[in-house]
Structure 1
Amino acid sequence: MLSVDEARARILAGLQPTGLEQLMLDAAVGRVTARPVPARLSNPPADISAMDGYAVRAVDTAIGARLAVAGTAPAGHPFTGRVEAGTCVRLFTGSLMPDGADTVLIQENATRDGDRVTVHESVAAGRHIRRMGQDFAAGDAVLPAGRRLGARDIGVAAAANHPWIACHRRPVIALLATGDEIALPGEPIPPGGIANSNSPMLAAVVRAAGGEPLVLPPARDRIEAIAASLDGLRCDMLVTIGGASVGDYDLVQAGLGARGFAMDFWKIAMRPGKPLMHGRIGDTPVLGLPGNPVSALVCAVLFLLPAIARLSGDSIAQPEIEAARLGAPVPRNDHRADHLRASLSRDADGMHLVVPFERQDSGMLRRLALSEALVLRAPQAPALEPGDQVGIIRLDRLGL
């Protein structure tokens, strides 16, 4: 069986980012840039005042000096003349610095009486001026390729005079649940049946990661039904749910095989989620998740989220791992990496305090919903006591 890290590396190695599309700024948040964003102008585009006050020559600002006000220059309305000896121009934050001035006398350090200003504090040359290109110069790459855009990035792109940004297209992730026993939520549940919690849950995972879920009708436990579900399918990744083990009714491998599935690997040394499958049908990558909902969600965190990130153009290779202290003992681990569902709080020192739930049954969805973190336990990890440090993956940080 493969380790979690090796399996994830093999999945990501076969993925390429989706093509690009041009998006308006307000539609680009959360998307990943497909190429660098160069500034189309400098910011500021010229020397401007950083404060309300007066544009002056520093040599004219001896304490007690009286300067003639030659004009007023609100932001967006530059003064067209020149600041000569013994004169000043009224400015406001963002006003263009007029020719001849080399500093700003802030209004708190001056008194105006009619068309005269009295200086109360001398000011050195260059004070309270934002220089042209101080933030960035025309031609600078204000955003790199591969950056997931937040509100601050949208702001800098707008300041660089871009109304559109080239981003990677949202990857389409097809979700195919299998099994005779599953019914759509809200439908009558037949004897021996269960509500299909996996498809809605994993669709939410895909959306939270920036992908576009394509939820296919569940396929029944017949090879031909599974194979037929793939006819005409167009997606960036196919995710099957359930039926990938070796039971008499675990027919996903055979159903995919009828459409040319090439297996890369099957089975991971992990808990929950051992029967994970990966391969390709032509150019389409396939990820086969366990049918147990808790196992499916844990595998989605470890493998599907990084895959969606890679398809989206992001360089993320694995979920962020943070440090926490245990609030309860945990026993020695066996040969499989374990991922314990746990609650999360803060201890007296402000550090994360994590308490694994006593029961870790992988069929307990409500317990999963109450979990705030996964505690990572390496194969053969020793027993730990309260206060010992562990690595965790915070589910709230993932939007899950």
Structure 2
Amino acid sequence: MNWVKRSSRPPRRWQYAVVSPTTVAEHRQRVAELVGLMPVLQLPLDECLGLVLAADVIAPVSLPPFDNSAMDGYAVRAADLAGDLPVRLPVADDIPAGRVELNALEPGTVHRIMTGAPVPPGADAVVQVEWTDGGTETVTINRAVAAGANIRTAGDDVEKGDAVLVAGTVLRPSTLGLASALGHPELPVRRRPRVLVLSTGSELVEPGQPLQPGQIYESNGMMLASAVRDAGGIAVRLRFVPDDVEEFHRALAPYLGSVDVIVTSGGVSAGAYEVVKDALASHDVRFTKVAMQPGGPQGAGTYEGLPVLTLPGNPVSAQVSFEVFVRPALLASMGHAQAERPTARATVSSPLTSPAGKTQFRRGLYDPSSGQVVTPVGGPGSHLLSALALSNCLIEVPEDVTELAAGDEVTIRHLQ
């Protein structure tokens, strides 16, 4: 059932309308459509890690840009080593890495050369220092090399004009290294979404402060803000908004021009003091009951033009809701083609029951070395935060399944 509050005015006499529950897939789609794509920015490479490339990167130079030595050794003409060995030759020049002006290598001489240094005109091979006596005025070479030996030729890795990185690439250390090697100081990427994480509840107290009767330490804000950062977003925390509609609106006002998404936790269920519902009832926010456990009460819509996603207040419900609905939307907004957590099939180690008509997400510990077995952690309660903290996956029980026996196969959603 889905309970829709018609009025929140004192003395809080509520009227409800019963509607069909929303499926997990339907709500996920609504959330994804609300968030949308983030704008494209040119950002310095130092700020691009984990972001998604928004346009192809074309190589402005070849890589390597010039023929260079793959070894510390001696640049030679291979023909000079074709006779009897060892051979002793004069060292006509020293070439360190970074040398700009080069002298041509004359027949019957060698140039001492360092790894990465440009190969001089006239040389067609490099003899590694281990095959010589390491001389600086003259050098004794003990082994011959073929033409081309130990030389990295220009364009061997990348040719100028190649499309080296394509739009949609997730930028990792190696891809950023390639962009830097090609001379790109910045790249076009979809920027990180700024997410306002708002915790409501007059009962909430900052950790470290003494608790009064009826109070609890605030945890959802820390958990959800961390989850936003883990997904690649920028989290802005707004804590301890009391159960008062006017205070709710006043608290949000300073952030409306600086964030992209608002995520709230609490205040969306069927209680008498559901401040999020009360405050957003006149805005374009639709509250619904999603056919899932935990995390049934949900809301999604816009507030002053911003996407707002309202999650339930119980901590496990809030975090599971984030995993199922918010995290994929944030990743998709940054251009990630794969926005969902990796999934796998596993066999459950013990029996489970699940309510009919609801997709259940149970906490689990998956060990692939144990024969792909997943062990449920804790019960289904939405308050069992310690069980979630000890888990590395969610066990997904479909809405048409009410019982699982030990050994039955399930889908798990990795959390790490």
- Tell me if TM exceeds 0.5: yes
Report 1:293-308 matches (<5 A).
293-308=315-330
SS in 2 for 1:253: helix
SS in 2 for 1:391: strand
- Describe the shift of the 1:270–1:63 C-alpha distance in structure 2 as closer, same or farther (beyond 3 A): farther
Q: TM-score, normalised by structure 1?
A: 0.85
Q: What's the counterpart of residue 249 of structure 1? A: 273
Maintained 8 Å contact 2:112/2:136: no
Unpaired runs of at least 5, structure 2? 1-20
1:25 equivalent to 2:45? Answer: yes
Q: Deviations over 1:54-91 (max 9, x none)?
A: 22233333252535433222222267232344333222
Q: What's the counterpart of residue 367 of structure 1? A: 387
1:215 equivalent to 2:237? Answer: yes
Report 1:177-256 matches (<5 A).
177-232=199-254, 233-234=256-257, 235-256=259-280
Aligned partners of 2:82 and 2:177: how far apart in 1? 41
1:104 equivalent to 2:107? Answer: no
SS in 2 for 1:26: helix
By how many angstroms is 1:247 displaced?
3.4
Aligned residue type for 2:268: A
By how many angstroms is 1:135 displaced?
2.3
Maintained 8 Å contact 2:285/2:299: no
SS in 2 for 1:374: strand
Report 1:108-123 matches (<5 A).
108-111=130-133, 116-117=138-139, 119-123=141-145
- Describe the shift of the 1:14–1:144 C-alpha distance in structure 2 as closer, same or farther (beyond 3 A): farther
Q: Deviations over 1:95-146 (max 9, x none)?
A: 2111122222333344566755555444332222212122223444444444
Report 1:1-400 matches (<5 A).
1-62=21-82, 64-65=84-85, 66=87, 67-77=89-99, 80-111=102-133, 116-117=138-139, 119-232=141-254, 233-234=256-257, 235-258=259-282, 260-263=283-286, 266-331=288-353, 334-348=356-370, 352-381=372-401, 383-386=403-406, 388-395=408-415, 397=416
RMSD (CA atoms): 2.9
Aligned residue type for 1:197: S
By how many angstroms is 1:341 displaced?
0.8
Deviates more, 1:229-238 or 1:126-135: 229-238
Maintained 8 Å contact 1:332/1:380: no
Aligned residue type for 1:98: P
Q: Deviations over 1:331-353 (max 9, x none)?
A: 466322221112243535xx554
Maintained 8 Å contact 1:272/1:294: yes
- Describe the shift of the 1:375–1:70 C-alpha distance in structure 2 as closer, same or farther (beyond 3 A): same
By how many angstroms is 1:148 displaced?
3.7
By how many angstroms is 1:169 displaced?
3.4
Deviates more, 1:314-323 or 1:25-34: 25-34
- Report the identity percentage: 39
By how many angstroms is 1:273 displaced?
0.8
Aligned partners of 2:272 and 2:29: how far apart in 1? 31
SS in 1 for 2:253: coil
- Describe the shift of the 1:64–1:210 C-alpha distance in structure 2 as closer, same or farther (beyond 3 A): same
Aligned partners of 2:135 and 2:113: how far apart in 1? 16
Q: What's the counterpart of residue 11 of structure 2? A: none
Q: TM-score, normalised by structure 2?
A: 0.82
- Describe the shift of the 1:367–1:332 C-alpha distance in structure 2 as closer, same or farther (beyond 3 A): closer
Aligned partners of 2:148 and 2:123: how far apart in 1? 9
Aligned residue type for 1:330: L
Aligned partners of 2:346 and 2:101: how far apart in 1? 59
Aligned partners of 2:157 and 2:136: how far apart in 1? 37
Aligned residue type for 1:132: A
Maintained 8 Å contact 1:340/1:376: yes
Maintained 8 Å contact 1:173/1:206: yes
Maintained 8 Å contact 1:63/1:119: no
SS in 2 for 1:14: helix
Count of equivalent residues: 392
Deviates more, 1:61-70 or 1:230-239: 61-70
- Describe the shift of the 1:382–1:369 C-alpha distance in structure 2 as closer, same or farther (beyond 3 A): same
- Describe the shift of the 1:127–1:325 C-alpha distance in structure 2 as closer, same or farther (beyond 3 A): farther
Maintained 8 Å contact 2:354/2:360: no
By how many angstroms is 1:292 displaced?
0.9
Maintained 8 Å contact 2:103/2:120: yes
Aligned partners of 1:291 and 1:32: how far apart in 2? 32
Aligned partners of 1:307 and 1:114: how far apart in 2? 63
Maintained 8 Å contact 2:249/2:279: yes
Q: Deviations over 1:7-50 (max 9, x none)?
A: 22332233333334454433433344444444443221101111
Aligned partners of 1:290 and 1:347: how far apart in 2? 35
Q: Deviations over 1:257-303 (max 9, x none)?
A: 33x3243x623222111112211235311111011110000111112
Maintained 8 Å contact 1:326/1:354: yes
Maintained 8 Å contact 1:64/1:120: no
Aligned partners of 1:273 and 1:301: how far apart in 2? 11
